[in-house]
Amino acid sequence: MHTFINDLSIEANPAKQTSSWTLLKRVIDITFELRKYKIERIRAPKQFVGMRIGMMETCAELLDKFKNDHEKTALINGLLSNRIEFPDEVIEERMAALQENKLLDVYLHTESSGLLCEAHCLERPVISYCTLSQFEAQFISADLVIIREDDSTHKKPINIKNIATNEHVAAHQNFLTEILHSLIFIKTRWQPIDNPIWNDQTKILLEELEFPNHKAQDKIAELENVGTLVAVNNGWTFDKIITGKNNSGQHKRKIFRANSGRRIAYLSIDFKRENGAFEVHDHNGVHKGQITFLGTYDREAQSNHNIHV
């Protein structure tokens, strides 16, 4: 699980006199606190190592400056080793699904931020450097800009959970605990066949996606994007090998796998139902029934719907 660096806060000119190391050390301390909630990866901007923290020194320069201080260099290298500078599969799938037939961006005043947009779309907090007062608050007030296919633009205010101090970690404890409980649920208690879609946010997600979109020109693409997003948000992982075994000219498949302890199950997007549905299969590929995108079983098992595993 990962969180996001607020890229707009890195090179901002600090309102208070402080050093780059002080600003960076506070961010490092926050990452240690977040590990308690299994948030270990940091989505950082490209060329993060060379960005001037508070318009002063870069991480690279600090590493050189402290080359004889093993404790400080270990802390900096620890942060850098846990960063990802490009979207991973989870981020890409969610952003693709949310941006079907539209483009999303997040603006803070006149500046846009792809990382703030990703954080908002994945419902994750951001970590900010304490360079400006607006980045020291528990929430960042920004605007989500939506550009549709007809070039119309819609803007709506949003609040992004912000962590600039360890006190903010405590303030967002309930939210962070929910993330942790979701991870624990998936790993220990989840029964994927009995409860394939368990995330309470799924209905809200479908509403935000305006699904089903009866005006969608490519319904197959819409079902694939939205179905992928719903599956991933409920703990399912795309299984490329099983998908390849079951794809044919007559039947398009996209199949996801759930691993919860020893319980393995498969979830396949149904591309024939325009309102969105999944086929549920056990570890042997035997069909167990069909569910809506909200997880309600509405069709019984059929032997001719089995998959090859």
Helix (H) or strand (E) holding 186: none
**Phi, psi for 109 (deg, rounded to 5):** 60, -115
Give φ, ψ of 86 to 5 degrees: -135, 150
Q: For 123, how many CA atoms within 13 A lie in the half-sphere containing its CB?
A: 13
pLDDT of the residue at 98: 83
**What pTM was computed for the model?**
0.76
- The SS3 call for residue 163 is strand
Predicted local confidence at residue 50, as pLDDT: 97
Tokens linked to 282: 């056990």
Supply the pLDDT for residue 261.
Answer: 55
Would you call 305 helix, strand, or coil by DSSP? helix
Contact 91, 114 (CB under 8 A): no
**CB-based contacts of 275, cutoff 8 Å, min separation 6:** 212, 292, 293
| CATH placement of domain 190-305 | 3.10.380
Enumerate residue ranges in the chain where pLDDT < 70. Answer: 260-262
pLDDT computed for residue 44 by the predictor: 97
pLDDT at residue 262, rounded to an integer:
60
Q: Where are the domains of the chain?
A: 2-180, 190-305
